Structure 1
């Protein structure tokens, strides 16, 4: 086959993406500084920026303050984050979060609804789509002003096809989420695993702007993880994620939802924690907790975990410490293998101050370097309900990376 030359349109698209990514990471810059940073000609940068300004994607921010010099002053340009809205849908057990925000993540509105696992997947997705369209109408957001929808959910997802292979605790079979939601919403749709999506959020809006290699640990109903290597999210060819929650920590142990036995999640998932505490709680072993539930251990439930987990009861805290130590030990072993620049933790369990402290205590017990300067709670934790879906939509539909 003869040489066909470089596809100039692909080069232009690549340069456009590079400019948008640079401006997102570094803020406003002059055209000249963009050209220097990316190794492009000033003419190329000017041409692309002119097109993006005309489209409303970039804005001129005014002349830059600089030392007196002859000639024309530099004019800074930056991203117009109000260019479009994004519909973000985070499907989790037990709640699904629907949010509308600008490209920067500034919320216009957010609502939550029960994740109805009793419905067939297609019927549930239709319900979410209908709720989303009604919510857009309530917020005064037209479909034409929406860039697209990002959807995140637990378990392995084939992002290129939008197929959820197994959404743990929601549905067990493969579901073409992207296909259904694109038809129901009449919008471009991007679908991915929830922890990978959150990691993408860190790349665009958080720690990932400054660190190249990161390990993410989410501790909520289950335990999820994701890996960023040289500013790219690691993704295997079979669409499986880096599931730290399914490390085998007890050979021949309890059956796990993934089909294995003895996984970490069988010990540290929220329902497993509540089950264990219920079994071990008596008037003698955990007197303060026993009094708190008035002798009815069935009241030790996941939905009230934030209340009973903080009770000052030596027996309870001994059990909880055993659970937290098991997770910390697994994380330390993972850190030893991957050697990331930083570890980012987030999720429901890490929102409890004592749990977060004990987790760091156990990590530093095994290695003093694994302290609060190395293992960081995500600064995006308050946006956990929508930042991941937002990020995958922005990355694919706006930044083009």
Structure 2
């Protein structure tokens, strides 16, 4: 890692006490120095010195005076959210999504770039770098004001080494994402599996806020889960925790891309839903979808037909919801989380999918509390993973007081 990376403003802000103060300002701001000292139990002179340094970086600014309890009114501190930025990438099987946000997680600019068929490792890394350069230029942000780059990557990710071990939908292995992007941009890069990144994003900005026992399920072209246990992301021994898309639901089911038969994603992923609809329409089922080119049917067009009242399409989505409900019930029995969040492209089907999913859990879960496990949709839908990529960097910057 370069000297510039080690000595930049990020490292100044990341030291433990500064990070704790930043977290307090983020959570409770506008807030006075005296109140920060009370909450953190740091001495007032220590708080004053650290705040002075944070003011110099520009990440903290002074705001209008607060209410006084007697004597001079205190100066209030708040984050300078408009000055510093984070770039998040969500690398899927067909598209790369890039987002530039402020440090409160507000998306300022978002772009979607197609990933060419048969892309090589080198070409994918170049595409990622090009997308970062383009979104920086289009947004007109100063590079020194970008805190870091987060990457949500589908498949197996070695978080410690920052490498994509296996991206099954691209059929690529051992991609040195962290090393390449840090060398290229000279700033912090964090990489995580897309579903785990999604769970972190929901915990930071979305429907997982304040919940320390949480599972997020990303249902798109594949199916994966991110688990937060006792407030921490759970990775497993070899970084394959959450690969629920390869949980076998029916040993006589369709063949999966992993080589096994009857995996959950062969029933519930976007392509699987489309394939099921096409095969039944070829057998003569009546549907609005039968009026068009069967080869062009997608999970999106099935949803649109369901909204238009097409009973066949509604049944196809409900069937996918039942299979997903079986997988989620198994997950409840293993992890027993407080809340489960459903995101990814297929989650756009909303109640057409969720109603049968919830009904399946009620039928199959062991106990009454398990049957009543909270099931909600992601706050961000298809943007859930890219928001998770942003959260990877903010989690590095903002320390929690329990750490």
**1:321-359 per-position Cα deviation (integer Å, ceiling 9, x unaligned):** 232111112212312332222222222112123223333
**Residues 109 and 365 (structure 1 numbering): CA distance in 2 closer, same or farther, change over 3 Å?**
same
- Measure the CA separation in 1 of the matches of 2:78 and 2:117: 43
Instruction: State the Cα distance separating 1:362 from its structure 2 match.
Output: 3.4
Q: Aligned residue for 1:380?
A: 380
Matching of residues 343-358 of structure 1 within 5 Å? 343-353=340-350, 354-358=352-356
Work out the CA distance in 2 between the residues paired with 1:291 and 1:305.
11
Hey, what does 2:175 align to over in structure 1? 175
Between 183-192 and 172-181, the greater mean CA deviation after superposition = 183-192
Alignment match of 1:323 (pick from 320, 325, 331): 320
Instruction: Return closer, same or farther for 1:27/1:215 CA change in 2, 3 Å cut-off.
Output: farther
1:283–1:192 Cα change, 3 Å: closer
TM-score norm. by structure 1 comes to: 0.86
Give the direction of change, closer, same or farther, for the CA distance of 1:226–1:113 in structure 2 (3 Å limit). same
Decide which moves more: 22-31 or 260-269.
22-31
Aligned partners of 2:213 and 2:231 also within 8 Å: yes
Select between 256-265 and 320-329 the one with higher mean Cα deviation: 256-265
Give the conservation status (yes or no) of the 8 Å contact 2:270–2:345.
no
| Distance 1:254-1:131 versus aligned 2 partners, 3 A rule | same
Residue aligning to 2:96: 96
Question: Retained in 2: the 8 A contact 1:214–1:343?
Answer: yes
CA RMSD of aligned residues (A): 2.8
Q: TM-score, normalised by structure 2?
A: 0.85
**Unaligned regions of 5+ residues in structure 2, if any?**
1-10
CA contact (8 A) 2:198 2:385 kept: no
Distance 1:315 1:299 in 2: 17
Relative distance call for 1:72 and 1:208 in structure 2 (3 A) is: farther
The answer to whether the Cα contact below 8 Å between 1:97 and 1:385 also exists between their aligned partners in 2 is: no
Q: What are the Cα deviations for residues 175-195 of structure 1, in whole angstroms up to 9, with x where unaligned? A: 111122223334332211111
2:36 to 13, 34, 37: 34
For structure 1, the 5+ residue unaligned runs are 1-8
* SS of structure 2 residue aligned to 1:258: coil
How far apart, CA to CA, are the structure 2 residues paired with 1:97 and 1:128? 9
**Which residue in 2 is equivalent to 1:189?**
189
On the 8 A contact 1:200/1:391 being kept in 2, the answer is yes
The superposition leaves residues 86-107 of structure 1 with CA deviations (integer Å, 9 ceiling, x where unpaired) of 2222111221112222111223
Note if contact 1:117-1:171 (Cα within 8 Å) is conserved in structure 2.
no
In the TM superposition, what whole-angstrom CA distance separates every residue of 1:114-133 from its partner, at most 9, and x where no partner exists? 11241211112212312331
Q: Find out whether 1:44 has 2:46 as its counterpart.
A: yes
Equivalent residue of 2:82, what SS?
coil
The alignment partner of 2:137 has SS state of helix
Corresponding residue for residue 398 of structure 2: 399
Do residues 20 (structure 1) and 57 (structure 2) align?
no
What residue number does 1:260 align with? 260
Report the count of equivalent residues. Answer: 386
Asked if 1:75 corresponds to 2:72, the answer is no
Alignment match, 1:3: none
* Aligned pairs for 1:118-157 within 5 A: 118-157=118-157
Q: Is the 8 A contact 1:360 1:370 kept in 2?
A: no
**Partner-residue secondary structure (3-state), 1:263:** coil
Kept after mapping to 2: 8 A contact 1:122/1:180: no
